[in-house]
């Protein structure tokens, strides 16, 4: 099995890109805010961007080596690297039919690919006539027509509306598992990354802050940024050892909270929305942490509702919200267990 090994150093506008990755037969997602250097990583792997320094190899095939032992810089042009790159807006050729787009890289498998992606009946259409989801399937089929050894996906879901996104994400996840290719995908959406990838790397300002399975990132975010990027509430405060071996955190907005995680000095207390329970009065149960605040917003997400209470966002089932009869402006108590909290350096 060939592993894609990537090491890159490249100056971008306001920071330096420094990335080291090993991608086996798996999907690795690079997730981060826009402008973090994610797309540059893909372009460098594809050969569309020449990094200042680095090495890119697929198994024994070296695609780029700026300082090889033999002394001669190696940098294969894109057409000699076995990659399939799906561009952010898909970059379909507007003057060619779907069939010609898919066949651009290789004619042999066009019929099979059109069939596989359910776009046979669109073979004679031009990209301008297609919907977002159809374009994405054409772009995937085109990228696969050359039988690439590595698949690169740049924001594969961002050009889709919320309605199509769910279905397309499920189909894409299935496809990636079937293909079993070393795949690097970049996205600004942690949920997409967690759904599609085996491993997720959080990248900010050209640096990978943390790389691991999405569950690992959620369980132990390495920094405040990773915690908030993965969707946690992040409350800054000062930590010191408290009673019963717990850590006592005086939060900046006044409340004292307790955590089973260790920490001292300036910390961020991270707690995920689904770990927070809401009630009318402070419950007499095992939860140690209670924050009282007014409900400032209720946002429905399918079968869940995200409720904003003071500095916290809680995620409740629609049924719970109806049972509590929550409305904006009402005072409620948000509770979470000390075991549900993580402490991250700020």
Q: Smallest Cα–Cα separation from 263: which of 237, 291, 225?
A: 237
Minimum distance between the CB of residue 126 and other proteins, rounded to whole angstroms? Answer: 8
Q: Which positions from 106 through 125 interact with other proteins, judged by CB under 8 A? A: 106, 121
Packed helices 132-144 and 162-179: angle between N→C axes, nearest 10 degrees: 20
Q: Considering the rule CB under 8 A, would residue 99 count as an interface residue with other proteins?
A: no
Query: β-strands 265-271, 342-345: how paired?
Result: antiparallel
Q: Smallest Cα–Cα separation from 226: which of 208, 252, 248, 246?
A: 208
Helices then strands, counting H and E runs in the chain, come out as: 9, 21
Q: Which of 57, 91, 222, 312 binds other proteins (CB under 8 A)?
A: 91
Minimum distance between the CB of residue 90 and other proteins, rounded to whole angstroms? Answer: 7
Task: Kindly state the tokens that stand for 125.
Answer: 């259409």
Shorter beta-carbon distance to other proteins: residue 90 or 258: 90
Give residues with Cβ within 8 angstroms of 57, minimum separation 6: 4, 5, 63, 64, 65
Sort 238 into a burial class: Cβ within 10 Å, 0-12 / 13-18 / 19+.
Answer: middle
Q: How many residues bind other proteins (CB under 8 A)?
A: 38
Please name the residue that has the structure tokens 């050894």: 149
∠38-151-112 over CA atoms, to 5°? 145
Q: Considering the rule CB under 8 A, would residue 10 count as an interface residue with other proteins?
A: no
Q: Considering the rule CB under 8 A, would residue 138 count as an interface residue with other proteins?
A: no
Q: Considering the rule CB under 8 A, would residue 79 count as an interface residue with other proteins?
A: yes
The H or E element that residue 199 is part of is strand 199-204
Shorter beta-carbon distance to other proteins: residue 36 or 160: 160
Q: Considering the rule CB under 8 A, would residue 221 count as an interface residue with other proteins?
A: no
Q: Which of 132, 173, 212, 293 binds other proteins (CB under 8 A)?
A: 132
Q: Which of 26, 99, 134, 192 binds other proteins (CB under 8 A)?
A: 134
Shorter beta-carbon distance to other proteins: residue 69 or 121: 121
Q: Which of 3, 66, 164, 207 binds other proteins (CB under 8 A)?
A: 164
Minimum distance between the CB of residue 174 and other proteins, rounded to whole angstroms? Answer: 20
First to last CA, the chain: 40
Stretch of 60-68, 74-82, 197-205, 208-216 lying at the interface with other proteins (CB under 8 A): 74-82
Sort 306 into a burial class: Cβ within 10 Å, 0-12 / 13-18 / 19+.
Answer: middle
Shorter beta-carbon distance to other proteins: residue 94 or 329: 94
Shorter beta-carbon distance to other proteins: residue 93 or 274: 93
Shorter beta-carbon distance to other proteins: residue 49 or 333: 49
d(CA 306, CA 333): 15
Q: Considering the rule CB under 8 A, would residue 25 count as an interface residue with other proteins?
A: no
Q: Considering the rule CB under 8 A, would residue 93 count as an interface residue with other proteins?
A: yes
Helix (H, G, I), strand (E, B) or coil at 171: helix
Minimum distance between the CB of residue 97 and other proteins, rounded to whole angstroms? Answer: 12
Minimum distance between the CB of residue 93 and other proteins, rounded to whole angstroms? Answer: 6
Interaction site with other proteins (CB under 8 A): 43, 46-48, 77-79, 81, 83-85, 87, 89-95, 104-106, 121, 127-134, 142-143, 145-146, 159, 161, 164
């Amino acid at each position: 099995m060939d592993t894609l090994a990537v090491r890159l150093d490249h100056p971008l506008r306001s920071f330096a890109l420094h990335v080291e990755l090993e991608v086996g037969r798996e999907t690795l997602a690079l997730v981060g805010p826009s402008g973090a250097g994610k797309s540059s990583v893909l372009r460098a792997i594809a050969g569309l961007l020449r990094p200042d320094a680095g090495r890119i190899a697929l198994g024994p095939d070296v695609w780029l080596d700026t300082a090889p032992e033999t002394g001669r810089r190696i940098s294969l042009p894109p057409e000699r690297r076995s990659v399939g790159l799906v561009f952010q807006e898909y970059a379909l050729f507007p003057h060619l039919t779907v069939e010609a787009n898919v066949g651009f890289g290789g004619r042999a498998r066009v019929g099979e690919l059109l069939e596989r992606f359910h776009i046979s009946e669109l073979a004679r259409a031009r990209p301008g006539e297609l919907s977002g989801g159809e374009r994405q399937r054409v772009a995937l089929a085109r990228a696969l027509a050359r039988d690439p050894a590595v698949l690169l996906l740049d924001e594969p879901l961002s050009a889709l509306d919320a309605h199509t996104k769910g279905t397309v994400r499920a189909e894409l996840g299935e496809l990636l598992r079937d293909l079993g290719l070393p795949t690097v995908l970049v996205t600004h959406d942690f949920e997409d990354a967690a759904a599609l990838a085996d491993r997720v790397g959080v990248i900010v300002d050209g640096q990978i802050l943390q790389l691991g399975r999405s569950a690992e990132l959620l369980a132990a975010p390495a920094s405040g940024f990773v915690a908030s990027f993965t969707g946690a509430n992040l409350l800054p405060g000062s930590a010191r050892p408290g009673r019963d071996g717990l850590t006592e955190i005086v939060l900046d907005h006044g409340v004292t909270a307790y955590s089973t995680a260790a920490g001292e000095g300036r910390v961020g207390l991270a707690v995920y929305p689904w770990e927070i329970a809401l009630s009318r009065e402070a419950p007499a149960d095992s939860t140690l942490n209670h924050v009282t605040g007014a409900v400032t917003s209720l946002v429905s997400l399918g079968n869940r509702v995200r409720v904003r209470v003071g500095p916290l966002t809680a995620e409740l089932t629609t049924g719970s919200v109806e049972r509590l009869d929550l409305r904006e402006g009402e005072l409620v108590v948000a509770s979470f267990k000390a075991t549900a909290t993580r402490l991250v350096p700020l």
